[in-house]
């Protein structure tokens, strides 16, 4: 399987703390994307980082990409209870149009 790996599998933090999730992948990519899924519903696109970018910000989200290590991280700062969800990284291979998803991280933010 070409599926990427994410760690940790599960993360529990207090509101206000930062949450960091890591993603590793196996192939050369065009871009890497992060998605959120609430309670087994549809996925919501959070942020996309291209293979020639190293860092990207969007609101409380910060994504880094290291193509030499084939890894990415997602940082959520000042977490809120509403951030409780599963987070997935997904890669798009160069020249392709199919997303390959990581195994996911379950984040729980407690009040």
Partner 1 sequence: SAVISQKPSRDICQRGTSLTIQCQVDSQVTMMFWYRQQPGQSLTLIATANQGSEATYESGFVIDKFPISRPNLTFSTLTVSNMSPEDSSIYLCSVERAGDRKYGYTFGSGTRLTVV
Closer to partner 1 at the Cβ: 15 or 86?
A: 86
When the beta carbons of 16 and 94 are compared against partner 1, the nearer one is 94
Instruction: Give the Cα separation of 91 and 100 in Å (integer).
Output: 5
Judged by CB under 8 A, does residue 87 bind partner 1? no
Question: Counting runs of H as helices and runs of E as strands, what totals does the chain give?
Answer: 0, 11
Q: Is residue 92 part of the contact set for partner 1 (CB under 8 A)?
A: yes
Distances (CA, A) of 80 to 14, 73, 94: 8, 19, 35
Q: What is the DSSP string of 13-52?
A: EETTS-EEEEEE--S-EEEEEEEEESTT--EEEEEEEETT
Q: Kindly indicate which of the ranges 12-20, 25-33, 55-63, 64-72 contains the residues binding partner 1, using the contact rule CB under 8 A.
A: 25-33
- Binding status of residue 104 toward partner 1 by CB under 8 A: yes
Q: Which of 1, 56, 41, 49 has the alpha carbon at shortest distance from 25?
A: 1
For partner 1, the closer of residues 41 and 111 by Cβ is 41
- Would you count residue 26 as binding partner 1 (CB under 8 A)? no
Site for partner 1 in 35-74 (CB under 8 A): 35, 40-45, 48
CB of 77 to partner 1, least distance (A): 21
């Amino acid at each position: 399987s070409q599926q990427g790996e994410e760690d940790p599998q599960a993360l529990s933090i207090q509101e206000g703390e930062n949450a960091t999730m890591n993603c590793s992948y196996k192939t050369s990519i065009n871009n890497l994307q992060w998605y959120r899924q609430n309670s087994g519903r549809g996925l919501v696109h959070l942020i996309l980082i291209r293979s020639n970018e190293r860092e990207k910000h969007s609101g409380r989200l910060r994504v880094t990409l290291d193509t030499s290590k084939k890894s990415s991280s997602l940082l959520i700062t000042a977490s809120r209870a509403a951030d409780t969800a599963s987070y997935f990284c997904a890669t798009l291979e160069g020249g392709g149009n199919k997303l390959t998803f990581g195994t996911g991280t379950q984040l729980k933010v407690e009040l």
